Amino acid sequence: MVTTREKDWQGDWAPNGQPLTRQFHRIVQRGRAFDRRHPWVWDVLLTGFYVTACLIDFLSGGWKNVTENLDTPNWLVGTLSLGFSVPLFWRRGHPFAVLLMMTPFSVANVLTGAVLQASTTLLIVIFNIALRTRLRTLLWSYALAVAPFWFAGFRYPGEEGADAVIVPVMMSLALSAVGGIAVRTRQEYLASLVDRAHQLEVERDQQAQLAAAAERTRIAREMHDIIGHNLSVITGLADGGSYAAAKSPERAAQALTAIGTTSRQALAELRRLLDVLREQAPTAELAPQPSLTDLDHLIDGVRSAGLPVRVKTQGRAAHIPAGTQLTVYRVIQEALTNTLKHAGPDATSQVSISYEVRGAVTVTVTDTGRGGTAPDGGSGRGLTGMRERTSLYEGTLEAGPLPTGGWRVHLHLPAVPALPEPKETTP
């Protein structure tokens, strides 16, 4: 049975085929579509055709040319003709039941010696049984259809013996069954291809949705880091400038200049990020992501906002992938941003960076502010972003208040596995 999805798929069949082939396919598809909407029309036409053919054979006396018993009553010939043709109306919905309905007429056809050509309608029934039922039902149906003709072959052997009657009937019914199996196999194979194609479409859509969700998360994380950090710096500068305005106008002017610089930098980074979201951005400005070399600029910006920061570095930053560097930069940026927001006016911060062998990095950021305050004012978005970045590189992140007051963020990114050295081969 053809499903709705298969119907939709078949509508686009052979888009690059020959015009004659496509036209024929279009006509066939329209015929099948009409048959699906009005199945009784085709059933009536087919049944009417065979009823008419059988009655013409009966009324014209054509059956007498092949019969074994010319004395068969006319009423019996007419009854047999209708018995072999009328049940065809139900051949698609109940093929095995139709064969059972025809079996008494087939037996009477042989016993009376009428041997009407109308009995060839059994080929259509066997075809539908092979097309729509199980193999076991088909085997029983084949035996039930062949049995009366087997008896007729021995009762009316003809000039060439019983084989001349039995073998053609068996071959004809077998070919009809094989035809039904072939059509059924093609339909099931086509249905499996359609299901597979639609499953691939579903998986493709799911992958696209997952990729879009991951991209949205990445962009949201970048926007949070950029806007949150720069706004915190601007807020610190504005507070310091307003405090110094009355006593030191020069310091206030410097604060305003720093605010302008930081604002322009944040705006440029935000514009660069939003350019990526445009569907058509052939001239989008490209710039490298922040790395460890940009930490000094980050620390200077935080210090200018009024937060004293001490930096302690151990080891040498060598052979560290760009993604690891970006993660270290963003974690330090977020930790210092949270200190600016929540630690209080008299807080200080310390950043300890340890570069280990093969690119492993350990970072600890502590402050002396009010301990126990959750990052991001309790929303946890900043901490979630840090954990997401860390998990990408199978690292660990710990964040929480210190027993003596303040806050601590501890990041560890493991070493990148070294590529195996190629083995030397001897000729």
pLDDT tens digits, 218-248: 666 666 666 666 666 777 767 666 666 667 6
Instruction: Give the whole-angstrom CA distance, residue 221 versus residue 224.
Output: 5
β partners of residue 411: 363, 397
Per-residue confidence band for 137, with pLDDT thresholds at 50, 70 and 90: very high
Q: What is the DSSP string of 76-114?
A: HHHHHHHHHHGGGGGTTT-HHHHHHHHHHHHHHHHHTT-
Alpha-carbon span 16 to 285, nearest angstrom: 41
Helices (H) and strands (E) in the chain, counts: 12, 5
Looking at residue 279, what is its pLDDT?
A: 47
Which element (helix H / strand E) includes 8? helix 4-10
Question: Alpha helices of 245-287 — where are they, by DSSP H?
Answer: 249-277
Contact indicator for 363, 410 with CB cutoff of 8 Å: yes
Average pLDDT, the chain: 79
| pLDDT value at residue 424 | 45
- Burial of residue 63 (CB within 10 Å: 0-12, 13-18, 19+) is buried
For residue 412, the SS3 value is: strand
- Rounded to an integer, what distance in angstroms lies between the CA atom of residue 77 and that of residue 63? 9
**Is the distance from CB of 107 to CB of 148 less than 8 angstroms?**
yes
> For the segment 74-87, what is each residue's pLDDT rounded down to a tens digit?
899 999 999 999 99
Phi, psi for 226 (deg, rounded to 5):
-70, -55
Length of the chain in terms of residues written: 427
Give the integer Cα–Cα distance in Å for 305 and 279.
37
Q: How far apart are CA 233 and CA 236, in angstroms?
A: 5
CA–CA separation, 292 and 281 (whole Å): 29
Give CA–CA dist 68/372, Å, rounded: 107
What pLDDT band is residue 102 in, cutting at 50, 70 and 90? very high
Q: Which of 83, 150, 55, 82 is nearest to 110 (CA)?
A: 150
User: Using one digit for the tens of pLDDT, what is the confidence trace for 276-323?
Assistant: 555 444 444 455 677 888 888 888 888 887 788 999 998 887 778 877
Q: Is the pLDDT of residue 101 over 70?
A: yes
Residues 362-395 have pLDDT tens digits of: 999 999 887 554 544 444 567 777 887 788 778 8
Give CA–CA dist 231/226, Å, rounded. 8
H or E element at residue 349: strand 349-355
| CATH number assigned to the domain covering 308-417 | 3.30.565.10
Question: What average pLDDT does range 107-123 have in this prediction?
Answer: 88
Mean local confidence (pLDDT), 149-173: 74
CA-to-CA distance for 162 and 313, rounded, in angstroms?
104
The vertex-323 CA angle with 318 and 326, nearest 5°, equals: 90
* % helix, strand, coil for the chain, step of 5: 65, 10, 25
Q: In this predicted structure, what is the pLDDT of residue 317?
A: 79
Q: How confident is the model at residue 324 (pLDDT cuts 50, 70, 90)?
A: confident
* Res. 195: pLDDT tops 60: yes
Q: Pick from 58, 67, 63: which is nearest to 156 by CA?
A: 67
Cα of first residue to Cα of last residue in the chain, in angstroms, is 63
For CATH 3.30.565.10, the residue range(s) in the chain are 308-417
- For 215-244, b/e burial (b = at least 16 CB within 10 A) is eeeeeebbebbbebbbbbbbebbeebbeeb
